[in-house]
Structure 1
Amino acid sequence: MNAELCFTQGAELAHKGDALQALELFHQAISLKPDYAEAYNGIGALLININNLNEAEFYLQRALELKVDYPEALFNLGTLFSRTSLLEEAEVCLRETISLQPDFPEAHFRLGMVLKQMERLDEAEKHLVLSIRLRTDFKEAEFALGVLYLLQGQYEKGWKGYELRRRIFNTCDSRCNWKVEDLTGQKIVLFHEQGFGDAIHFVRYVKEIEKVASEVVLFIPEQLKRLISASFKSITIETDEKMVGDYNFSCPLPSLPYMFRTTLDTIPSPISYLKADSNLISKWSEIVKKEIKDHSFTIGVAWAGNPNHKNDKNRSIPFHVFKQLFSLQTVNWISLQMDEKAADLQTVSHQVLDFHENISDFAETAGLIENLDLVITVDTAVAHLAGALGKDTWLLLPIDPDWRWQVKGQESLWYPTIRIFRQIHRGDWQGVLAEVITNLEAKLKRNNQFNKIKGN
């Protein structure tokens, strides 16, 4: 078998998703033809897909050494740099790709995504729009453009693109071909989609649906059932899709803003639309009182989100940085971290109460949060839960935040009790934590003064 045939067969296998066999054939091609730039590029692209980024860079750089002005290899290298947060390097590679091949839609798309991360939103929009013009049915780019519009508060333009997530991520098949008035006197089934935080965020629309439909069934994960049941007592909640019964209308929760044509002025944002169960509030009050001997300020914290989230490395805070908060020892600290990251607490000498082994679902977490004075958290389900409960919450955000937090300002359009602390420089959590500590010290001082006045 000659080198070209090895490469051709490898490319076919790569297209079918058989990365290991494709890698083997690309390596075989190189052994037969050591200066085979296309094979090096093929290996680099596959290694990116399986997240072997360090090794991928070697093969892509080698491809570029062997073949000057190689747009595909430059594109792949730019993609790699974007995945490792080397955004300036990614921009250089992608712009060079486009200069060599101006009609390369994927390069415009990738550059648009990089520029969005760099907060150069007008430039990002330009390249995303161009990528869509160059490639018909480029749903990933259309979705990204929709999210960009939502981030900028252009909701009228953004929701339609946001709907494409259902085609990209193969979410539940749901028939959103209705208008709100069609629901009058009808049964509708609402489905959760994406993560727990998204379900908590969008479930606010159930109140709007209830005003029209005669019967509402909500299909959600087991971990949310007790919490949602305590807050929406007149709807049916199921965790088994087989139990939802027959229906003519349905909708995933994240599609409800689109169906209601939500604008900045019509966001349903009651101070609290979720309610913790009173028995669980009392239960956690007793637990906390046993552990805390005084009545000083009590703060719940979460420093990390789901590690499988695509933006987790940016939105979660390394614990060695976050733990400086605990140096304020006039505060009672309670961890709201519910996963393996709770083990980070073993590295702190200050007392931080940790109940994660006794918390089975979000109803328990809600009961605990209602016994706190403040929640300080990164962008994770805890932030949505605390905001939905109307709890005073400080949210710590990276440079490139989720669309619902927008790019500027301290206030949240969706949660009136959330205050936002943003990175000024990419990756600089130290500056965010310093600002949080300064504001927390001022808040504690005001709280002490209030208590003295109250006591007098």
Structure 2
Amino acid sequence: MNAQSHFNSGVEAAHKGDALQAIEFFRQAILLKSDYAEAYNAIGALLINMNNLNQAEFYLQRAIECKENYYEALYNLGTLFNKTGLLYEAEICLREAINLDSNFPEAHFRLGMVLKQLERLEEAETHLCKAIELRPNFKEADFALGILYLLQGQYEKGWKRYELRRQIFDSFDPGLRHWKIEDLIGEKVVLFHEQGFGDTIHFSRYVKEIAKVAAEVILLVPKQLERIMSSSLKNITIHSDEKMVGEYKFSYPLPTLPFLFNTTLHTIPKSIPYIKVNNDVIEKWRNIVEKEINVNNYKVGVVWAGNPNHKNDRNRSIPFSTFKPIFSIKAVNWISLQIDDRVNELQTISDEVLDFHEYINDFSETAGLIENINLVITVDTAVAHLAGAMGKETWLLLPMDPDWRWQIQRQDSPWYPTIRIFRQLHIGDWQEVLARVTVALEAKLKK
């Protein structure tokens, strides 16, 4: 076989989803033709998808060396830099690719995403719109444009595009079509969770709005949320098992409800608190906490990291070594609200921070603990939504390029009146954020 034949076999293997076999064919092609730019580029693109970014960069740089003005390889290298957080380098590569081929929809899309992360939103919109112009059925770009509008509080333009997530991402869906509000009058309606715990808590504020028109409402949630939703939504049937629902005709995923109700910044349902925990759980945690603390001290609950499997965890979570200095503030009972493996990071300062994670098996327990705390300081996790929905004073620590619901620049939240936002001013700079939090907390303690 010659180099071209090996390359063709690699393309065929890649189309079949066999990345390792494809890479082997491409490498065989390179052995026969050492300057085979397309083979280097193909390996680089596959390695990006496999998250083997260091090796991918080598192959993409080699492709660019072997072929002048190779805009496809520049696009892939820009994508790689985007994934590794090198946003300015990503922008340079993607702009160069677009200069070589201005009708490259994927490059306009990726550049739009990079510019969004840099919070240059007008430029981001221009490139996302260009991507859609070049490829009218570019769902990912249209969805990203919707997120951009939501981020700016332009909900009227954002919600419809937000619905494209149903076509792009895999998620639980009963497979039934959605309905208008007037269709639901006097009917049985099933609402089901989608995405993460925080999203479910966030959008559950709409359940009571559906209950105003429907005869019966059933809410499907993850098991960890079943008890707290049952105590919060007294007249709603809560299940974690779809088999318990029975037959139904009308259904909605929770994140579709803002679109259904044509929500604007001024019509957000914010009857806070809308998440409530039973008194016996609150009392249980009062007894647990008071045995361990100085009752005269201020009680602060903390979360420094989210789910490590979350796609944006690298940006939203704070390294424990960076977060740790805040615990030196005196006259505070520090209480960890972490419940994952990152709790183990507390071992080095176990005398300074109380850890009750062994007692917590669902969000009802977390809520009971939060009710016995004065202030929650957290990164963007489900705990932020839980505390905000409970009406607890919460300080939210946000990276640049935050989730759409927190918008840009503002220090408050239109969704949660008791949340105060501390934002990164520079990409990845958590030390400056925590310095501001420290000053604010010390000022609060003096009062």
1:91: which partner in 2? 91
- Which residue of structure 2 aligns with residue 9 of structure 1? 9
Aligned to 2:445: 444
Match of 1:454 in 2: none
How far has the Cα of 1:327 moved from its partner? 0.5
Unaligned ranges ≥5, structure 2: none
CA deviations over 1:110-168 (Å, ceiling 9, x no partner): 00000000111000000001101111321111110000000000000000111111111
Deviations 1:235-263 (A, max 9, x none): 11111112211111100000100111100
Using the TM superposition, give the Cα deviation of residue 171 of structure 1 relative to its aligned residue in structure 2, in angstroms. Answer: 2.1
SS of residue in 1 equivalent to 2:27 = helix
Cα distance in 1 for partners of 2:379, 2:2 equals: 54
Corresponding residue of 1:383:
384
1:160 maps to 2:160? yes
Q: Is the 8 A contact 2:115 2:123 kept in 1?
A: yes
Aligned to 1:189, what secondary structure does the other structure show?
A: strand
Q: Residue 103 of structure 1: CA displacement?
A: 0.8
Given residue 312 of structure 2, which amino acid in structure 1 is its aligned partner?
N
**Aligned residue for 2:302?**
301
1:82 aligns with 2:82: yes
Superposition pairs for residues 249-264 of structure 1, below 5 Å?
249-264=250-265
Determine if contact 1:280/1:367 at 8 Å carries over to the other structure.
yes
SS at 2:377's partner residue? strand
**Partner amino acid for 1:122?**
E
Asked if 1:282 corresponds to 2:283, the answer is yes
* Greater Cα shift, 324-333 or 345-354: 345-354
Give, in angstroms, the shift of residue 170 of structure 1. Answer: 2.4
Q: Distance in 2 between matches of 1:295 and 1:184?
A: 53
- Aligned pairs for 1:173-252 (under 5 A) are 173=173, 174-252=175-253
User: Size of the alignment, in residue pairs?
Assistant: 446
1:63 and 1:70 map into 2 onto residues whose CA distance is 8
Deviation per residue, 1:47-96 (Å, 9 max, x gap): 10010101110000001111111011000000000111111110010001
1:103 correspondence with 2:73: no
Q: Is the 8 A contact 1:98 1:104 kept in 2?
A: yes
- TM-score w.r.t. the length of structure 1 is 0.96
Q: Distance in 1 between matches of 2:347 and 2:73?
A: 45
Task: Tell whether the 8 Å contact from 2:294 to 2:333 is kept in structure 1 after alignment.
Answer: no
> Which whole-Å CA distance do the structure 1 matches of 2:233 and 2:181 have between them?
20
Give yes or no for the alignment of 1:344 onto 2:350.
no
1:216 aligns to what SS in structure 2? strand
> What's 1:323 paired with?
324
* CA distance in 2: counterparts of 1:55 and 1:347, whole angstroms: 35
Partners of 1:175 and 1:151 in 2: CA distance: 29
Tell me the equivalent position of 1:144.
144
1:270, 1:416 within 8 Å by CA — same for their partners in 2?
no
CA distance in 2, matches of 1:207, 1:131: 39
State the 1:332 CA deviation: 0.2
Q: Structure 1 unaligned runs (5+)?
A: 447-456
Equivalent residue runs for 1:43-62 within 5 Å: 43-62=43-62
Match of 2:400 in 1: 399
- Counterpart code for 1:25: F
1:291 partner SS: coil
Matched residues in 2 for 1:270 and 1:25: separation? 60
Q: Distance in 2 between matches of 1:123 and 1:196?
A: 32
**Aligned residue type for 2:164:** L
The amino acid across from 2:417 in the alignment is P
Letter in 1 for 2:415: W
- 8 Å contact kept, 1:326–1:350: no
Rounded to whole Å, the distance in 2 between the matches of 1:244 and 1:9 is 49
2:302/2:338 contact within 8 Å kept:
yes
The residue aligned with 2:28 is: 28
Q: Residues 344-363 of structure 1, C-alpha deviation per residue, up to 9 Å, x if partnerless?
A: 11132651000111100000
Q: 1:405-444 alignment to 2 at 5 Å?
A: 405-444=406-445
Give the RMSD, CA atoms, in angstroms: 1.0
Shift of 1:306: 1.0
Tell me the CA shift for residue 308 of structure 1. 1.3
Q: Could you tell me whether the CA contact under 8 Å between 2:300 and 2:373 is conserved in 1?
A: yes
SS of 1:295's equivalent? coil
Preserved contact between residue 205 and residue 274 of structure 2 (Cα < 8 Å): yes
CA distance in 1, matches of 2:160, 2:13: 35
Paired letter, 1:239: S
- Give every structure 1 segment of 4 or more consecutive aligned residues whose post-TM-superposition deviation is greater than 4 Å: none
Amino acid at match of 2:407: Q
What's the offset of the Cα at 1:296?
Answer: 1.2
User: Secondary structure at the residue paired with 1:346?
Assistant: helix
- Take 1:129 and 1:10, find their aligned partners in 2: how far apart are those partners? 34
| Alpha-carbon distance in 2 for matches of 1:170, 1:346 | 38
Structure 1 partner of 2:112:
112
Q: Distance in 1 between matches of 2:221 and 2:10?
A: 42
Retained in 1: the 8 A contact 2:301–2:337?
Answer: yes
- Aligned AA for 1:433? L
> For residues 258-305 of structure 1, what are the alpha-carbon distances to aligned partners after superposition, in whole Å with 9 as ceiling and x for unaligned?
111100110011221000111110000000011113331000000001
